Amino acid sequence: MDEKTRRELAEIAAQEAALAERKRRLLHLAKEQIADDAKLVGAERAAFLGLTGGATGRIVSTMDVDGTGQSEAVKRGIARGRRNHPAQVAFYENGVTIKDVAAELRETRARVSAWMSADPKAVRAIPSRHAEHLKRRFGIPLSAWARIAD
């Protein structure tokens, strides 16, 4: 490889690193805005903002979740994840998949997934008992759910 090609590759690598840092900062600002809009304060705000840190070694997908030391099923889930719902991120960071949570709650995977839908028309209300359980187990604030059923 000649010197000119090396320089070009180094420049591209530097640009990619700068873009990755900009994306991380923008995601952080978006989370701050969501926390402000949801009026999260204290421990709930810290828990929400801490769900997706900017640690290195994270799996590259639309989700920013640490896959280090996770099972293959969790790594596949992270790589396939296309939402950044606080609950979904918390599940993966705690080493469980949506399927695992569904089995634990005795619900279907599709139903649990629908609680986190990005489409407001498709979002399904999470039963309050499940929302409370997930808050205790994963620290997911109740304000993270679009709809909670009684």
- pLDDT tens sequence across 51-67: 655 444 444 445 556 66
Measured between alpha carbons, how far is 115 from 146 in angstroms, rounded to an integer? 8
Single pTM value for the model:
0.52
Mean pLDDT of 32-43: 82
Please state, rounded to an integer, the average pLDDT across all residues of the chain.
80
With contact defined as beta carbons under 8 Å apart, do 124 and 147 qualify? yes
pLDDT band at 82 (very low <50, low <70, confident <90, very high): low
